[in-house]
Structure 1
Amino acid sequence: MIEKEVNPRFEDFLFDWSTKFQFLVGGYGSSKSYHVALKFILKLLEEKRTALVVREVYDTHRESTFSLLEEIVIDLGLDHKIKCGSSPMQIRFPNGSKIIFKGMDKPAKLKSINNVSLIWLEECSEIKYAGFKELIGRLRHPSLPLHMILSTNPVSKSNWTYKHFFKDEKKKVYVLDDERLYEEKTIVTNNTYYHHSTADDNLFLPSSYIEQLEEMKAYDPDLHRIARKGQFGINGTRVFPQFEVQNHDAVMAAISSIRRPLLRNGMDFGFADSYNALLRMAVDRENLILYIYWEYYKNQTDDEDTAKDIVAFQKNRWEIRADSADPKTISYFNKKGFRVKAAKKFQGSRLQYTKKIKRFKKIICSDQCPSTIDELKYLTLAVNKDGEVIEDQFNIDPHTLSAIWYGLDDYEVQDLKRAY
């Protein structure tokens, strides 16, 4: 019999093992990590299991997950039975259960793990999506039910945790509305136990801590959303706050009503890690609206295969303005009967082209362009080590934005600052 006072918000969570996945997201100081650690200990006392605790960087375990588990073992008065070894980090139970600690920065060491039936991914948003999928494959046991617990503070909606467990616009995957979770706090669906918490759920926190979280609202709204509200969103300054998504038929109807629309096609070349991104666009010059109504977005294809994919541009003699940094590719397409023109690039063109696109009053994208939506809807400006915004760098490498740059390279959007 173990008696331990816990936060009421986590009472049901501690003993619920009904799903394979358990996803805990919340603000700072909500005590989610503490209760995951306690849940681990209770389960391993009850059943003989090998459990794995994972962080992106192995060395961060010592002052976080290992320290927390050891603290709980001592607090429960079980340190004479449960042995916490620090070299290597491992926790052993009297019934043969054990907890081992690994980092995704040393993936080779994961291969030696066998019969793991319980995994905890702490700060899972820091782990790469490929690592998460690999860990699912490591979760195996001949007889015991398998469970994976993921805990994190919310980050950008562009992070894989949001796309996998909530929504992925690009892949048209809709699992759960995160706003519903913030309201209902606990939801079980799709073999996943969802749990949301904030500092208000931790009855052991001093009021001064919550006051500090509230103060963030005045000087850092993004951090306030993450730390105080525990909600996903957009981290940083959006590049295109005027970007919106509309039904494809509505977009085409709007384009057809434009008097003398400017029709342009822009392409960014890629192959291995980057992508071939080709967009078809229409500009409403009177109302300063950019429409994006068609996309081609693919990698791992050579020029010959790409030419086959976009053969309509060859047949219709549609002009493409493309990345001038790849003249051999431009030459190849032109020899095949395409009309490809090198876009102008110059020192500082990234910044100037971005500022130009920002001058559109609206950027309206068809819902049939998922890659464009995925890259531009939550695109934010990068920051340097001092927290200062870098105007021509972003949180991702947006190939569709490059395609827009090239497609509109010689078109100038009216600059209202200079108009009067």
Structure 2
Amino acid sequence: MIEKEINPHFENFIFDWDYKTYFLVGGYGSSKSYHVALKLILKLLQEKRKALVVREVFETIRDSCFALLEEIIIDLGLDDAIKITTSPMQIKFPNGSQIIFKGMDKPAKLKSIHGVTIIWIEECSELKYEGYKELLGRARHPSLSIHFILSTNPVSQSNWSYKHFFQDKKKKIYILNDEDLYKERNIIKNNTYYHHSTADDNLFLPKSYTEQLEELKTYDLDLYRIARKGRFGVNGVRVLPQFIVLPHYEVIERINNIPKDMKRVGFDFGFETSYNALIRLAIDHENKILYIYWEYYKNKMTDDKTAIEIAEFKTTRELIRADSAEPKTIQFFKQQGFNITGAKKFQGSRLQNTKKVKRFKKIICSENCPNTKDELKDLTYKVDKDGNIIEDQFEIDPHTFSAIWYALDGYEVSDLKGNAVQFLK
């Protein structure tokens, strides 16, 4: 017997297993991922099943789906009965049920999967459509029902998840008007259970969190639509609409009280047509503001000449996080006495890093960083032949943006999605 307080808007969803597909879309803090995880745990306690949890990039699973499932199991007081292992990531239930975890960036590992009857695709909009179709063929069982659960924050209407589950105007495919879903909140269509949610549906959220989401309306309407309203739409083309430039003295005044561990350095290497971009930045963690206050930006410079020009870093011993795709260059700077290391890169890291930077409320750049300003102030997404935004590609190669990615390696902007378990205890 398990007693657990849940959000009323998700009560029917948690206990409903009548349909093949469950598509949950909603804003930040709506608790959709929490209730998917809880639904999965309850089902596997009742029936012996194998479930697969998938994200596009395997690296992102440990701190999202896996951590959420683990926290719920502990919160329910079931951690003595349910075995949780981190290497490999796996959850085993006393009745023989199990949950396994895979990333679509390692498709070869999907071929070894057998007996899966439930697949949870978290942030399904990040998957490629081909990946989704591949998963459809992986779930099979001679007697048990098959279920797919897809959860996502809404993105552009050009994303495959919108075209597949709602409408593709170019191909004249009309399944469901998303406006009807926002109005009705729950709709059954073509053996698919549609569910829409926002932060208002999470009764455990503090008022300050919802107010924080409301603030998005003043500086990023696209993110407001996604995070607060939980609605699909047409994305703006500007990558960093919250980017502004201020006088250098004002930026320095603002970062004076920022702790040393919140000041970072990132280095993107270049030579002929690309540039060496070295960036100093400071993070106002509480207010979610990123400050960029110093830059070095040159090309056609050999490493030995660059080392001379940035020699101050040998004295300050600031940790430089650099492009790990250039291990020889990193080793050279180490030998020259620089405190430098490679930033983590993985398949899908461009998109993840872009999203990370976009989560800052403000990005404030010193006027003493003209190249950063030129590259980022009006940085726009590249679009495909149909005019759809490619979310990890840009119209220029912004070296300062890459340097910022590396500088932020290991740091996470306070995620507006929040800690689902914390808000539901």
Give the distance between the partners of 1:69 and 1:388, measured in 2 at CA: 40
Deviation at 1:157, TM superposition (A): 0.1
Give the distance between the partners of 2:387 and 2:77, measured in 1 at CA: 56
Residue matched to 1:92: 92
Residue matched to 1:339: none
Matching of residue 7 in structure 1 with residue 2 in structure 2:
no
Q: Mapping of 1:4-43 within 5 angstroms?
A: 4-43=4-43
| Cα shift readout 1:66-123 (whole Å, capped 9, x = no counterpart) | 0000001001111111011000000000000000000000000000000110000000
Q: 2:384 aligns with which of 381, 392, 396?
A: 396
Question: Which letter does structure 1 place at the counterpart of 2:136?
Answer: I
Give the distance between the partners of 1:65 and 1:3, measured in 2 at CA: 22
Deviation at 1:399, TM superposition (A): 8.1
Query: Displaced runs of 4+ in structure 1, greater than 6 A?
Result: 383-386
Q: TM-score, normalised by structure 2?
A: 0.58
Residue matched to 2:337: none
Give the distance between the partners of 1:165 and 1:139, measured in 2 at CA: 19
* RMSD of aligned alpha carbons: 1.9
Residue matched to 2:172: 172
Give the distance between the partners of 2:88 and 2:115, measured in 1 at CA: 19
Unaligned runs of 5+ in 1: 239-382, 401-420
Question: Which letter does structure 2 place at the counterpart of 1:110?
Answer: L
Question: Which letter does structure 2 place at the counterpart of 1:46?
Answer: Q
Residue matched to 1:227: 227
Question: Which letter does structure 2 place at the counterpart of 1:156?
Answer: S
Secondary structure of the structure 1 residue equivalent to 2:63:
coil
Secondary structure of the structure 2 residue equivalent to 1:121:
strand
Secondary structure of the structure 2 residue equivalent to 1:193:
strand
Change (3 A) 1:169 1:48: same
| Cα shift readout 1:238-281 (whole Å, capped 9, x = no counterpart) | 9xxxxxxxxxxxxxxxxxxxxxxxxxxxxxxxxxxxxxxxxxxx
Give the distance between the partners of 1:395 and 1:24, measured in 2 at CA: 27
Highest Rg: 1 or 2?
A: 1
Give the distance between the partners of 1:119 and 1:49, measured in 2 at CA: 11
Change (3 A) 1:213 1:203: same
Residue matched to 2:118: 118
Secondary structure of the structure 1 residue equivalent to 2:60:
helix
Q: Mapping of 1:206-245 within 5 angstroms?
A: 206-237=206-237
Question: Which letter does structure 2 place at the counterpart of 1:74?
Answer: I
Aligned length: 255
Residue matched to 2:129: 129
Deviation at 1:387, TM superposition (A): 5.3
Give the distance between the partners of 2:3 and 2:41, measured in 1 at CA: 13
Give the distance between the partners of 1:52 and 1:13, measured in 2 at CA: 19
| Cα shift readout 1:330-375 (whole Å, capped 9, x = no counterpart) | xxxxxxxxxxxxxxxxxxxxxxxxxxxxxxxxxxxxxxxxxxxxxx
Ranked by relative contact order (alpha carbons within 8 Å, sequence separation 6 or more), the top structure is: 2
Give the distance between the partners of 1:387 and 1:177, measured in 2 at CA: 36
Change (3 A) 1:104 1:33: same
Deviation at 1:139, TM superposition (A): 1.0
Give the distance between the partners of 1:237 and 1:57, measured in 2 at CA: 24
Residue matched to 2:313: none
Give the distance between the partners of 1:109 and 1:101, measured in 2 at CA: 10
Aligned-residue identity in percent: 70
Deviation at 1:390, TM superposition (A): 4.0
Give the distance between the partners of 2:119 and 2:378, measured in 1 at CA: 37
Secondary structure of the structure 2 residue equivalent to 1:64:
helix
Change (3 A) 1:232 1:387: farther
Deviation at 1:389, TM superposition (A): 3.3
Residue matched to 1:76: 76
Give the distance between the partners of 1:187 and 1:17, measured in 2 at CA: 15
Deviation at 1:394, TM superposition (A): 2.9
Change (3 A) 1:138 1:205: same
Residue matched to 2:332: none
Matching of residue 143 in structure 1 with residue 131 in structure 2:
no
Unaligned runs of 5+ in 2: 239-357, 359-371, 389-425
